[in-house]
Amino acid sequence: MDKVYNFVADEPGVRLDRYVCERLAELSRTRIQRLIADGHITVNEQVAKAGLKLNAGDRLKVILPPAPPSPLTPEAIPLNIIYEDDDLLVVDKPAGLTVHPAPGHPAHTLVNAILARFPRLAALSDSLRPGIVHRLDRDTSGVMAVAKNSLAQTKLVEQFKARSVAKTYLVLVKGRLTPENGVIEAPIGRDPRDRKRMAVVTKGREARTEYRVIRYIGDYTLLEVRPETGRTHQIRVHLSAIGYPVVGDKVYGVKSPFLSRQFIHASRLGFHLPSTGEYMEFKSELPPDLAQALKDIA
């Protein structure tokens, strides 16, 4: 059965889709925009566009048809939760866990694990990525934030787009990288010779990566890396492009007898909490396999 919600706009100038998002935080903006496009949300009994600026006193009616069944299956996969409030989770993702279902990985993902703990997340979006605001590669471990409602998801995504989120990674590369502090600025796009790979290409998207040498270990360098942009495989592509490939990276880097995966760990993530605006940072210690690799190459 349809659910019906009635609202009276109490402040002028707010976009229709944003207003409904704030009143029905359990719905994603994508779903709300689709409801508007399908005529399920009216203003003063008239069909309206998502970008309509409301006037104080406008009467809104939201008809919410039953959501289609989610294709996602909750799975009891253990999670290491660093922080939790009403709006979000911060998890310490292990290497080997894919973030969300995709071709080739239909299940056994972080999303499936989160749904087992929070079934309501399935209603957050009709996509396969409910609550996901950023990604880590399957073989990258470390800190990830996951939204628990639509408004929190919107606020977190806005911070990532504004590049106000502090992202720090620990990365081991082959070679002694100099200078000890630097910035890599090179556009990234699909590799024209292999569409499954990314590469530095002239017509790619802007990408910027800062790094700092933590220490040299023989013919290796342990780095603290801060990507300012969030391009696919950015750290791996940029470091390979300057001649210092990531250890254990089977696509862009160099294989290692000490590692079965790439040496990239998301060690720190800082952002403003959606609920209070307070800035907080969350940390993850280097996991045992990477810590052991450092001992093995010393």
Q: Distance between alpha carbon 214 and the CA centroid of its chain, in Å?
A: 26
How far apart are alpha carbons 43 and 17 in whole angstroms?
11
* Integer Cα distance of 20 and 61 in angstroms: 10
Q: Contact 8/130 with Cβ under 8 angstroms?
A: no
CA distance 121 to 27: 10
Give the Cα-Cα-Cα angle 180, 184, 190 (nearest 5 degrees). Answer: 145
In Å, what is the CA distance from 180 to each residue of 148, 210, 267?
A: 40, 11, 19
* DSSP secondary structure code for residue 276 in this structure: T
137 in active site: yes
DSSP string, 232-270: TTHHHHHHHHTT-PBBT-TTTSB--TT-SS--EEEEEEE
| Catalytic-role residue among 17, 87, 92, 137 | 137
Q: Which residues are catalytic?
A: 137
